[in-house]
Amino acid sequence: MTGFTIVGTPGDRRVEAFAAACASSGVSRPRLLPWTDVLSGAPLEVDGLLRIDSPGEAAEADALLRGPGDPARVGGGARWYRTLLGGLERLRGFPSTGDVDEIAVMFDKRACHARLSEAGVPVPVSLGPVGGYRGLRERMAERRVHHVFVKPAHGSSASGVVALRTAPGRIKAVSSAVPHGDGWRNSLRVRAYTSEPEVARLVDALAPDGLHVEQWFPKAALDGRLLDLRVVVVAGEPTHAVVRTSTAPMTNLHLGGARGDLEAVRARVDWPEAMSVCARAAACFPRSLIVAVDLMIGLGWRRLAVAEVNAFGDLLPGLTGLPGTSAEGLDTYTAQVRAALRTSSPKPPDAFPGTSHHDHRNTVPATGKTPCP
C-alpha cells in the first residue's frame, strides 16, 4: 500500500486523528482532498487508498452543500443530500475504504431503515412518510401510537430530531432545535416544547426536506440515565463500543450526554447477541470498511434495536478496542489503518478482511429473512 488520501476538511479533528493513526502504523501522512474541491468541481488528486470522511460543519463546505447561511441552522437536508450525492459520484471508481453507494444509503434514514428491516436486523417500527404535522398526527392516530421519534431523512448529529409524546390534551416534544429568526437553529442543549402550535411549526419546518418517523423504542437506564451504545464495526468485526447516557431522549455526547459504564451494561445485556446485531447491521454495507451502529437496549434489557447506521461515526477520542478483538488497545482510526494494511495492495473495499460473505465474523443466525448482500 502506498498510503491514503482523505476527503475531509483542513484542521478537522477527524483528519488529524487519522493522520496520527497512519503515523503510528508506519504509513506516510495522508494526502488531504478537501470537500470544497470535491463539491466545487476542482481537479481531484488521489494517492493510494481513498478514505471518505465527514464534511463536518465548516462554513465553506456547508455553503456548497446547503447554500449560504449559518452552518448551525436546521433544515436544508434535501439540498445537502443532493449535493453530497454529486460529490460522491465524483469519487466513484477510486479504491476506497467507503463505498459511495453505501454512504448514500446510510445518509437516507428511510432507505437505511428499509435495508436493515428487509435483512431481519431489529429496528424500531416505521410509521412511513408523512408530509407535515397534521399528517403526522393522523398517522399516529391510525396506528394508535402516542410516542414517536421524528427524524429528518438526511440529518445527522440529532439535528432536527424531535422526540414527541402525546396524550389527551397534552403534548411534549424534545429537540435540540431552537427558534432563530424565521427558522430554527441547532443548540448544544435539548429543550422541551409543550405548546402544540410551536411543535407543529417545528415539524412543518422540517417536513419539506423529508421525514422518517419511528415508533418510540423505550430504552434501558442505569442510575436514572437512559442509555444506548455506539458500536464501531471495522472490517465486519465490532471492535469499539461506548455507552452514551442522558436524562434526555437523545443520548448524543455533544448534546450533554455522557459516557457510561460499559462493564455494567455488558453484565446486564446479552452481549454476544448485541454484538451480533451490530455485525448484522454492518453486513448490510459489505463494501464499507467502517460502519458505526447506534444500538438501543430496551427496558428489561432483552430487546435490541438499531437506531442509526453511520458512515462517519468513528470519532471517539480516547476509546480503545474491545478486549479479544483485533483492535484491542487500538483507537478507532488505528484499527482501520491496520485493517487496510492487511491487504497487500489497494483493492476494492469488498476485498477487505471481514467483508467477504465467507468470513466467519459476518455469519448471522437464521432469521427467516434474507441477509444483506
How much is the pLDDT for 372? 62
How much is the pLDDT for 323? 97
How much is the pLDDT for 368? 40
End-to-end CA distance of the chain: 27
> CA torsion sign, 112 to 113 to 119 to 122?
positive
> CA torsion sign, 6 to 11 to 17 to 21?
positive
How much is the pLDDT for 364? 30
Q: What is the pLDDT of residues 164-191, one digit of tens each?
A: 999 999 999 999 999 998 899 999 889 9
Helices first, then strands: H and E counts in the chain: 11, 14
How much is the pLDDT for 157? 81
How much is the pLDDT for 158? 81
Q: Are 148 and 127 in contact (CB under 8 A)?
A: yes
Mean pLDDT of each 10-residue bin along the chain, 373 residues long: 88 95 96 97 95 89 93 92 97 96 97 98 95 97 97 88 96 95 89 96 96 97 96 98 94 87 98 98 97 97 97 95 97 97 53 35 35 53
Q: What is the mean pLDDT of the chain?
A: 90
- What CATH architecture does domain 219-362 belong to? 2-Layer Sandwich (3.30)
* Domains in the chain: boundaries: 4-96, 133-215, 219-362
Whole-prediction pTM value?
A: 0.91
